[in-house]
Every structure is written in structure tokens, then in C-alpha cells.
Amino acid sequence: MPHSRAIERIIKSKPTIEGAGVHLRRVFGYYERGLLDPFLLLDHFSSDDPKDYVAGFPWHPHRGIETVTYMIDGTVEHGDSLGNTGAIHSGDVQWMTAGSGIIHQEMPKSYEGTMRGFQLWVNLPKEKKMMRPRYRGIAAHDIPEVELDNKVKVKIISGEKNGTRGPLRDLVVDSTYLDIRIPAKTRFVNPIHPEHTAFAFVFEGEGFFDDAESKVILPGTLALFDRGNTVTITTKEKSVRFLLVSGKPIGEPIAWRGPIVMNTEDELSTAFEEYYDGTFIKESGVG
């Protein structure tokens, strides 16, 4: 029997500054570690002033995680220790597996209008923490979008909807990443694996994210769902656009410092020692 998930917790994004001075809003991160397992962090970028973001994120390391950058509007140039260089543009996605270690930079370019995007961190399980790093750049035209009978539009970055699969099919952690638009005065029910963590982050419009329609969720707000096999979203006078993300929990200890996430403090210390003595990178060359 379908069982619609209720909202377990509501989290409002908070302003913060990262990188070389990028103004963004952190939806969740270090202080919520374990709460949204396997997801570690979600940052939301949205500014019409290039001074808020062009300083970017100069060269820095990662180990033990995957980073997922999704640009709604704007351009970010990137480079990494595997030799990958290029740019992701409006609608593009960069899914990078840091694994045993990668050093990269992400530099937003000045944009006419509001630069908008997201970065999500996905944890890696213990047996994959030191896997070979890899980089996948997915162009907007390779990300399918399905339109349902009720005019709901679902862009599928990973996972599946109505028989259409997203382009990312070799993920370490089983996860689904959808960008959904629901018109006004519409009810939408989406299946969710009953054992997976699931959340919705609203960035346009507003909607009700439980079957009881108990509380309207506004832009900049995340709804973390409890257990069940569906989520129900209802709109009234306004439409809504949101990310719907779900994934299989890992259930392992989290040792986290800055851009590196391992299982123990000893592993963290080793990672930083290797970074400072020049032995951090285990794999190089284009992967």
C-alpha cells in the first residue's frame, strides 16, 4: 500500500561565505552530519552581483566524497588534478568522485542576470573512500525531462521517472536527483524507495510537501521526509520548483574536516599530512 511520507524536519538555509569570498546559502552541512545520510552538504548559489561569486573556489583538495554541481543559470570554469578542464553552463551538471584524492578549482564567471546553482556532497562508504577519482560532465541537452499528464515537469539528473532514466547510471551510492516543476493547483505523488533518505529543497514558488498539507514550504527551505514509499506535493495559487533528492543511507562513522570526509580521525590526519607533504594525489592524468 502507498504510504506518503510526512515531514520529519524543516531546515532553512543560512547565509555563509566560502572559497575565496563566495556569498552563498548553506542548506545543510557539518552541523547536520548524519541527519541526511548519505548526503553531507547542500549549498545554494543565487546572486545578481558578480562580486558575490567571481572570486570562486581556487585550488583545494577533496577525499572520501562525491561533489555534484548543478548550474541553473550561469557558468563555472573548472580544472582538476586528473587533467580535466572546461566549463559547465546553464543546465549542466558536474558529478565528481574525489575518492582517494583530487585537487580542483571551481571559478564562476560573471553572468548577466542571476547566477544560480547548487552543490551537493554525497558521502562514500568505507570500501570506496580510496577509489580512483573520476569526473563526469553532463551537458544540459543530455539530461532528460519528462512532462506528466498534470503538466508536472521532471528533469532527471539521476534515477528514473516513468521509464526514463537519468544519464548517471554508475553511481557509488544509489541515489536519485530530480529537478521538479509543479504548476499551481496541482497534486503530485512521487514514489520513493522506502529505505532511502529523501529531502526536497524549494527554490521557486511554494507548496505543501506532505499529504496533510500541514505547512507551506517557501523558497530557501528544505523539507526532510520521514519513512514511506511516496512523497506528496500540493500547490495552491502558486507553482513550485524544487530539488527532490533521495539516496541509500551508508550508516557509518563520519570524520569530517573541511573538504575531506573519512571514517576516523586517524584517516583525516593522514589525509591532511599527505596533502601538505605532496603525497595526497594517488591517481593522476585524465581518468
Single pTM value for the model = 0.96
Q: What is the pLDDT of residues 208-230, one digit of tens each?
A: 999 989 899 999 999 999 999 99
Q: How far apart are CA 121 and CA 269, in angstroms?
A: 21
Position 279 scores a pLDDT of 94
CATH of 7-277, one of 2.60.120.10, 3.30.70.60, 2.60.120.260, 3.40.50.880: 2.60.120.10
Position 207 scores a pLDDT of 98
Q: What is the pLDDT of residues 129-167, one digit of tens each?
A: 999 999 999 999 999 999 999 999 999 999 999 999 999
pLDDT-based confidence at 2, cuts 50/70/90?
confident
Position 65 scores a pLDDT of 98
Q: What is the pLDDT of residues 74-131, one digit of tens each?
A: 999 999 999 999 999 999 999 999 999 999 999 999 999 999 999 999 999 999 999 9
Position 1 scores a pLDDT of 75
Q: Read off φ and ψ for residue 267, nearest 5 degrees.
A: -65, -35
Q: Where are the domains of the chain?
A: 7-277
pLDDT-based confidence at 284, cuts 50/70/90?
low
Position 286 scores a pLDDT of 45
Percent of the chain clearing pLDDT 70 (strictly above): 99
Identify the CA nearest to 255 among candidates 130, 123, 127. 123
Q: What is the mean pLDDT of residues 2-23?
A: 96
Indicate if the pLDDT at residue 12 is higher than 90.
Answer: yes
Position 183 scores a pLDDT of 98
- Tell me the pLDDT of the chain averaged across its residues: 96
Q: What is the mean pLDDT of residues 45-70?
A: 97
Q: What is the mean pLDDT of residues 195-206?
A: 98
Q: What is the mean pLDDT of residues 275-283?
A: 91
pLDDT-based confidence at 273, cuts 50/70/90?
very high
Indicate if the pLDDT at residue 72 is higher than 50.
Answer: yes
Position 287 scores a pLDDT of 37
Indicate if the pLDDT at residue 285 is higher than 60.
Answer: no
